[in-house]
Amino acid sequence: MTTPTPLVAGNWKMNGLSSSLAELEALETFVKEQAEASCELLICPPFTLVAAMAVKAGGSVKIGAQDCHFNKSGAHTGDISAEMLKDIGAEYIIVGHSERRADHEETSDTVNAKAAAIHGEGLSAIVCVGETEEERDAGQTETVVLGQLLVSVPDSATPTNTVIAYEPVWAIGTGKTPTVADVAEIHTAIRGALVERFGEAGKEFRILYGGSVKPSNADELMAADNVNGALVGGASLKASDFNGIIDAYRS
């Protein structure tokens, strides 16, 4: 078994204009001038910036997208396919983010179809799962998360083409985080479910933690059992904050 290289991924959500390309440049300067980080770096800007950022990225930061349609092409006004994103340089696509599940009523079956489409293009899917505050309070965290995982991850998943992101909904953009012990517990349960389904390969999938990760808490969250990186929203918008999170992977 090989230990997976951690991934620190930024999700810019619906933020960023062409002037934001400067943040990519600043991040790449930090990465070049500071101690090398033992992790892979990714930024997922809005669709409008994917092409420009993929052209600008100098190699130390990969570029991805935040969603795609599950069909390759066709009569889907306003949608974007995985093939189109591949065409403009995206390497990863996030699917099943809780904001998509809530705002667009995406089900785990839809997420599964999107992830399979991403695999079909030879790209990597970041499949998000996570419980709401009500579900957590009702003691349903593991049931909800493992249920979403089972349906959302297609059979085509491998440790190379799929990353799991555990993102408790109540921790996203709120400044609240679970305890390190709680993160370790659910990540270990996710690992167990991946091993049960994919055998030895299940040990090599990266499982990211996401939800109010910032420079001040990244060290302890990234050190938790079965945490192989972070999915970062707000703190990925400014290169200096994102770089502070990457410090968790610098010695």
CA distance 36 to 136: 37
51-59 contact pairs (CB < 8 A, 24+): 51/88, 51/89, 52/18, 52/21, 53/21, 53/24, 53/89, 54/88, 54/89, 54/90, 55/89, 56/21, 56/24, 56/25, 57/24, 57/28, 57/89, 58/28
Residue 36 carries which DSSP code?
P
Shortest Å, Cβ 118 to ligand PEP: 17
Which part of the chain contacts ligand PEP (CB under 6 A), choosing from 25-33, 74-82, 117-125, 227-235? 227-235
Among the options 28, 40, 106, 167, which is catalytic? 167
CA distance 227 to 224: 6
Q: Kindly write out the interface string for residues 151-190 of this chain, putting x where it contacts ligand PEP by CB under 6 A and - elsewhere.
A: ----------------x----xx-----------------
CA distance 65 to 18: 16
229 binds ligand PEP (CB under 6 A): no
Query: Contacting ligand PEP (CB under 6 A), which of 233, 243, 246, 248?
Result: 233
11 binds ligand PEP (CB under 6 A): yes
Give whichever of 203 and 214 is closer to ligand PEP, judged by the CB atom. Answer: 214
Among the options 69, 97, 119, 187, which is catalytic? 97
- Residues lying near ligand PEP in the complex (CB under 6 A) are found at 11, 167, 172-173, 210-213, 231-235
Active site residues: 97, 167
